[in-house]
Structure 1
């Protein structure tokens, strides 16, 4: 009888231990399932975020490319033509002075205006500012990121600054020339109903003999050369960045 009780106790203990072991295995299994679920959820979330980040990056790179296109268009349609006006006007007055040829008042007024016409260099940076506010690290490729920062923080603001400085340098000289040698006659009715409703007169002989005008000519020559050089340089930089963006967008879309 005692032996039977002993075996019964041993059997019950073994059953309890087996239950404990089974519970332990069950607990481990539950933990593994929970961890696996978390890892899967994190993986899916990470994948979804990576997809969204790539879409955003492609979008912003496209916007940056569009900004560059707008600036290139302004170069070709606005800034280069104005520099050409400066160059042609300088050539006109140089020829008049060197050959002593006569020029009409209309020619002289037109070329004087073209000699002193200037521009403020503007560039489209909306996409860059939007990207900067959201984090430039959204551009994954460090080479592309570095080039874009260099363009919008260095090259473009630099040419805008120098253009502004050149304009300020010539403003006082040209204003003085106009004040001394040019007189505009506006019709009494003030209505622009003629091709040349705003006419004027210019004392060309006195102006060409004015030392201030010769100083203006020299400054225009220097400034125009510098502007064209800077425009050529920034155009190359813009085109290089555009090609870099196109290649990066194509890579991300693969």
Structure 2
């Protein structure tokens, strides 16, 4: 094609037809410009397509991570809290009804349940990947701000708040445990020896310190369940926003 235009140009010049050559030259320039513009458009489209794909992948990774966290809460955290509140409530009921024939084994098992704790954990890996790509890869301004706020403020603050609460309650709990319990080595069903807390006397249910201990454990339970429910709501809402954005991007 280029050789063809060169031949025409040479022919026009040789025939001294300057005006026609000028028109030809202008046409040739226009064609070159059009070709450049088309090439740039294709290149920009390819770049945009790559960015859109990267955005979808990042959002999908965050969504999958949130779903995994929510599954963990349901399968592990909430079940551990059920165990904790069962121990607290049953022991509190025994105290209220002044039961005198309860075996030490029953008290120990329920007390161990009341000691169950949890940690508010979450996977920040996909968010760290987003930071390396650059936040601007998320085209939706509202969603971008929500993601940043969730991983930089909401989720970490729930862990910090929980840690502060435990630092206040745990020393008080340990102080009471030392007064009314002793460590004893026992062999579990699997034959493994372990240290457990056993009451120092058989009047544990009438000991006011024991009631105070259960009250403190109940405070911990309320702290756990409130934080867990809050984080669960925020994660569920964030995942909903991400899924809606993915649906929108896929339909574009």
Band the TM-score falls in, shorter-chain normalisation:
0.7 to 0.9
Give the TM-score normalised by the residue count of structure 1: 0.80
Any gaps of 5 or more consecutive residues in structure 1?
1-14
Aligned residues: 237
* Partner residue of 2:219 out of 199, 214, 222: 222
Superposition pairs of residues 55-66 of structure 1, within 5 angstroms: 55-66=53-64
Q: After superposition, give the CA deviation of every residue in 1:119-140 in whole Å (9 maximum; x if it has no partner).
A: 2211011111101121111111
Q: CA RMSD in A?
A: 2.9
Superposed displacement of residue 31, structure 1: 3.0
* Partner residue of 2:29 out of 26, 31, 36: 31
Matched residue, 2:230: 233
Matched residue, 2:96: 98
3-state SS of the aligned residue for 1:40?
helix
Q: Does 1:248 align with 2:245?
A: yes
* C-alpha spacing 1:229/1:186, structure 2 compared with 1 (3 Å): closer
Q: After superposition, give the CA deviation of every residue in 1:78-100 in whole Å (9 maximum; x if it has no partner).
A: 22122222221221221122111
Give the TM-score normalised by the residue count of structure 2: 0.81
Matched residue, 1:120: 119
Superposed displacement of residue 206, structure 1: 4.6
Superposition pairs of residues 14-93 of structure 1, within 5 angstroms: 19-93=17-91
Superposed displacement of residue 197, structure 1: 6.7
Matched residue, 2:134: 135
Given that 1:64 and 1:128 are in contact with CA atoms closer than 8 Å, whether structure 2 keeps it comes out as yes
3-state SS of the aligned residue for 1:186?
strand
* C-alpha spacing 1:54/1:141, structure 2 compared with 1 (3 Å): same
3-state SS of the aligned residue for 1:108?
helix
Between Structure 1 and Structure 2, whose CA radius of gyration is higher? Answer: 1
* C-alpha spacing 1:234/1:52, structure 2 compared with 1 (3 Å): same
Structure 1: how far apart are the matches of 2:190 and 2:234? Answer: 45
Given that 1:68 and 1:242 are in contact with CA atoms closer than 8 Å, whether structure 2 keeps it comes out as yes
Given that 1:87 and 1:224 are in contact with CA atoms closer than 8 Å, whether structure 2 keeps it comes out as yes
Structure 1: how far apart are the matches of 2:197 and 2:240? Answer: 49
* C-alpha spacing 1:79/1:200, structure 2 compared with 1 (3 Å): closer
3-state SS of the aligned residue for 1:185?
strand
Superposed displacement of residue 23, structure 1: 4.6
Structure 2: how far apart are the matches of 1:116 and 1:134? Answer: 43
Superposed displacement of residue 161, structure 1: 1.5
Given that 2:143 and 2:241 are in contact with CA atoms closer than 8 Å, whether structure 1 keeps it comes out as yes
Given that 1:186 and 1:197 are in contact with CA atoms closer than 8 Å, whether structure 2 keeps it comes out as yes
